[in-house]
Structure 1
Amino acid sequence: MRKKTNSDRRSAVITGVLLIAGIVAGIFSVVPVIDGEDYMIKAYTQENQVLIGAFFQLLMVIAYVGIPSLMYPILSKHSKGLALGSVAFGIMAGVFIMIGVMILLLLLTISHEFAKAGALDMSHFQTLGELLQAGRDLVNHVATTLAFAAAMLLFNCLFYRTMLVPRWMSAWGLIGSALSLAASLLFMLRFIGLDAAYMMLNFPIAFQQLVLAVWLIVKGFNVNLPRPDEVGTR
């Protein structure tokens, strides 16, 4: 039987808070002006929206890196390889997020320069802006999502094996992570865009993270359940 400790309870609560913080930060990191067709002109005039989006995107790093790192001491007792893998993918996701922030700020800089240049030699601004916009989409919706979905896949795999949370929730997380990975790969291969199909494929893991967060904050880990390797000895 697992023994309940204050450390486990604290880790569960902090993990739940970080999951919710990551979701909220992700929502506020959306920058409609950059995703619009007239981003070259409008980004300069709506600079605060871009900077706020960049700020919340940076906050996502805390959640993406913090969740697997915080859980490592607990999960490594059951599988150091999977636990370490989740941390590695979480760090990768954090790095990609920071790259995405830098690209976002570069787009803002180009918008400033575009406004100064006026009608003179606009073509190279447009070309550079389009390249950066495409690069930002690939970083945010392919690289970052693939890394974090892989981290969550390992995370939920360990949860399923250890029964620290109900297995139905872990199974939901495994399926949701797989769908999120598929969404990023399909977007990368241009089978889908940033459309309803992409959002629907990512919705299950996002909703599972919210449910998991509430569960961890309210109930914590199922520390009184026997380990899978203990069930057969009874």
Structure 2
Amino acid sequence: MVSTRRIATLTGWLMVVTFLTSIPAYFLYAPARDNPEAITGAGADPTASVALGAFLELVLIIANVGTAVVPYAVFKRYSKVLALGYVAARLVECTFIAIGIISLLTFVYMRQEGTAGTDAGLGEAFVAIYERAFLIGPGFFAGVANGMILGYLMYRSGLVPRGLAMLGLIGGPLVAASGIAVMFDVIDRGSTLQGIATIPEFVWELSFGIYLIVKGFKPAPDLAGEHGEQGAPDAGP
């Protein structure tokens, strides 16, 4: 049986990978996202930048799913419903990330196929699909998955310090609420208010990953009884 310490370490690294892939990908998409008219052949070719961003987000999808699947055996000891809910929410988030990837890859494909003279509105449509998919996926479901579900599961189980888990319980609803506010045009996408709302969630996810790499899961009654304090088999009978 794989020790809980190894599960924690792998989960932590997967969480860190989500940052190492998602942040660069966002900036790599800029040549297409910020210049929809590029689909007509105007301006610099965004193909290489978008392709690299798409590759990073494919790795992001794998890491996202891994953060829920790898620790599932540990999480379900405390709540099978929450553990399964976390997997499901991560899968939904990744579905919308994939929609965004397809949208921008189609953007550069249309440029490669020769759409010179085509109205730039076509490019704006693909960018709009990407932005709305980003809003629903990382902009809403990430708050539900990593903030609300994972935060509550960690707070309830005590697998990480409860003060740390509280960041998720605060950050998750803020991210989800800001996404809904953008959806209803209450605030602007990318506004200062939306940026501030994402800070607690950002700190929670990064801190959670680093904590698991450095410390692992905290000893808890179920884990200590089955595998010892750090997941190793008990020495006693």
Residues 118 and 103 of structure 1: is their aligned pair in 2 closer, same or farther, counting only changes over 3 Å? closer
Cα offsets for 1:70-94 (capped at 9, x unmatched): 1211111111111111111111112
Give the secondary-structure state (helix, strand or coil) at the position aligned to 2:71. Answer: helix
Q: Does 1:56 align with 2:51?
A: no
Deviations 1:97-133 (A, max 9, x none): 11111111011123334xx3434xx32xx22222221
| Greater Cα offset, 37-46 or 201-210 | 37-46
Q: Is 1:25 the counterpart of 2:16 in the alignment? A: no
Residue correspondences, number: 216
Aligned to 1:85: 85
**CA pair 43-167 structure 1, distance change in 2 beyond 3 A:** farther
CA gap of 1:181–1:8, structure 2 versus 1, over 3 A, is same
Paired with 2:43 and 2:56, the residues of 1 have a C-alpha distance of: 17
In 1, distance between residues paired with 2:190 and 2:160? 32
Letter of the 2:64 counterpart:
Y
Aligned counterparts of 1:197 and 1:108: Cα–Cα separation in 2: 32
Are the equivalent residues in 2 in contact too, given 1:8–1:221 (CA < 8 A)?
yes
- Report the equivalent of 1:99: 99
Contact 1:43 1:108 in 2 (8 A): no
Q: What TM-score, normalized to structure 1?
A: 0.85
Partner residue in 2 for 1:138: 132
Give, in angstroms, the shift of residue 9 of structure 1. Answer: 0.2
User: What's the offset of the Cα at 1:145?
Assistant: 3.1
Residue 203 of structure 1 is matched in structure 2 by 199
Q: Does 1:75 align with 2:71?
A: no
Q: Aligned to 1:149, which of 134, 143, 150?
A: 143
SS at match of 2:70: helix
Distance 1:14 1:117, change over 3 A: closer
Unaligned runs of 5+ in 1: 228-234
Residue number in structure 1 paired with 2:6: 10
Kindly provide the amino acid, as one letter, of the partner of residue 97 in structure 2.
Answer: I
Supply the distance in 1 between the matched residues of 2:129 and 2:115 (Cα, whole angstroms): 24
The offset of 1:143, in angstroms, is: 3.2
Aligned 8 A contact 1:11 1:71 in 2: yes
Structure 2 equivalent of residue 175 of structure 1 = 170
Change beyond 3 A, Cα 1:118–1:11: same
Unmatched runs of 5 consecutive residues or more in structure 2: 223-237
Contact 1:33 1:43 in 2 (8 A): no
Shift, 1:144, TM fit: 4.0
Asked if 2 retains the 8 angstrom alpha-carbon contact of 1:146 and 1:184, the reply is yes
In 2, Cα distance between equivalents of 1:154 and 1:10: 22
